[in-house]
Structure 1
Amino acid sequence: MEILKIGKDLSVNPSSLEWQESDLDSSEGSGRNVLGDMFRDRITVKRKLSVTFPPMLTSEMSRILKAIEPIFFDITYPDPKEGKNVTMNVYVSDRTVPVYCFDKDANEWLWQGLAIEFIER
């Protein structure tokens, strides 16, 4: 069973998936008053998934990198807060993948350590 579904076509199993939820506050409506008490104007709550993939061949890596190429796309993942799989519209930041070695049997490069942060739109 695949843990992560990217778009409509690609289901993959990352080696790690870390869930994070963050409050986004208004910069003008949040701060401290003269008594030092905190006040907040929370605009919304957004989720972020930090995902790392195990070593994979160029053909597999290419499928993932092409799937995350659009500016915004959907992913489906197990959400610990909701207690079920959730589909979320996301974007990604930088993508870096170091080459590991050449696989002579597959006649392809083996890549390792692709790390992606999927950030809720």
Structure 2
Amino acid sequence: MLLKINNVEIAAYPKPGDFKVTILDLDDGESTVRTSDGTLHRDRIAVKRQVEMSFAPLPDNKISAILQAMSAPFFDFYYPDPMVGGYVTKRMYVGNRPAAVPIERNGVLWWDGLQITLTEQ
């Protein structure tokens, strides 16, 4: 698997099994309604992607590189997409990015449990 942010390979990869792509349907809030007989009348306006990743412990330089690569309001993310059946580049933004308190080993801070959720613009 290859992951890139703004055409640069990501500094560290998610833990095995902790990379998940969700395909999101966005519906119009006003015209999508369920009638009294229970029938849904749906107005899908877009199909977007959301990518969730969790990382093993990362040293300062790796976690910093990942977070700085996602510091712009929007960025290009290259990843394997299950619906396309191959690699794609999507314009994304990042939500909250929690990381546990670091531990220090041999003078290097290590951060455990970084979680990232990317959502297509």
Question: Where do 5+ consecutive residues of structure 1 fail to align?
Answer: none
TM-score of the two chains, using structure 2 as the length reference: 0.90
Task: Please give the secondary structure, in 2, of the residue aligned with 1:99.
Answer: coil
**C-alpha RMSD of the superposition:** 1.3
Checking the alignment, whether the CA contact within 8 Å between 2:7 and 2:78 is kept in structure 1 is: no
Higher strand share: 1
Q: Secondary structure at the match of 2:64?
A: helix
TM-score (norm 1): 0.90
Q: Residue 35 of structure 1 aligns with which residue?
A: 37
Determine whether 1:113 maps to 2:103: no
Quote how far apart the aligned CAs of 1:36 are.
2.2
Deviation at 1:88, TM superposition (A): 0.7
Q: Which runs of 5+ in 2 are unaligned?
A: none
Q: Deviations over 1:57-113 (max 9, x none)?
A: 001111011001000001111111111111111001111111342111xx2101111
- Shift in Å at residue 55 of structure 1? 0.7
4+ runs deviating over 3 angstroms: none
Q: What is the number of residues matched between the two proteins?
A: 118
Residue 65 of structure 2: aligned partner: 63
